[in-house]
Chains A and B, each alone.
Chain A
């Protein structure tokens, strides 16, 4: 199993450009998440999905959109990149059972620099 993979690993964008980050998991997990990690801020939840075809806003959703068309994939889109979106983006997945939080498995991260 590859676990959770993210594409690309690193990207440089100019302000106003758009891009899509791809997250894929092969563990048949129901839940998937997108976080961003900034120095001194910890991991912050952007959007998440509790199943195929469903998405929900997290703590910092502005400027991002997501889609979960297939259970194994969770896409994060930036429609018009801004320097404030320079960050490290982590995707994670989990398979909650009995309403109890289960381990979240993280991808290796995508480093995004917006100039």
Chain B
């Protein structure tokens, strides 16, 4: 089983719609969680951290469920510019050092 699993998609969603992605992780010792965004042929960039209480940043809402070991990302009122691949990232400490594990990404295309 992969340490971090995501539905690869693609998700093709009309502009203005709401879309949600889930991500599951296998290591219960994982400590920090993030969503990164990666545009085609570009580097990943941090979209938002994910906190236990859930957090919101504009149209984006992230949730963490430690008991079920999954993370979600909700995008409301989707824009054309939201088209990208969304990477779920999980961090834990491994022999005193951080270890980030990246999911393979969920590809989202917003359709006009």
Taking a contact as CB atoms under 8 Å apart, the answer to whether A106 and B45 are in contact is yes
Does A31 count as interface, using CB distance less than 8 angstroms? yes
CA distance A50 to B95 in the complex (A): 13
Does A77 count as interface, using CB distance less than 8 angstroms? no
How far, in Å, is B29 (CB) from chain A's closest CB? 13
Main secondary structure of the interface of B (DSSP, over half): strand
Taking a contact as CB atoms under 8 Å apart, the answer to whether B43 and A108 are in contact is yes
Main secondary structure of the interface of A (DSSP, over half): strand
Q: What is the total of A-B residue contacts with beta carbons within 8 Å?
A: 46
Taking a contact as CB atoms under 8 Å apart, the answer to whether A101 and B46 are in contact is no
Does B55 count as interface, using CB distance less than 8 angstroms? no
- What is the interface size of chain B, counting residues whose CB is below 8 A from a CB of the partner? 22
Interface size on A, as a range, is 20 to 34
Taking a contact as CB atoms under 8 Å apart, the answer to whether B44 and A96 are in contact is no
CA distance A94 to B42 in the complex (A): 19
Taking a contact as CB atoms under 8 Å apart, the answer to whether A96 and B98 are in contact is yes
Select one of B42, B91, B102 contacting A43, CB under 8 A: B102
How far, in Å, is A56 (CB) from chain B's closest CB? 7
CA distance A78 to B40 in the complex (A): 26
Could you jot down 16 A-B contacts, CB within 8 Å?
A: A31-B98, A35-B102, A42-B87, A43-B102, A56-B97, A90-B43, A90-B44, A94-B98, A99-B93, A100-B32, A101-B91, A104-B46, A106-B43, A107-B43, A108-B43, A109-B43
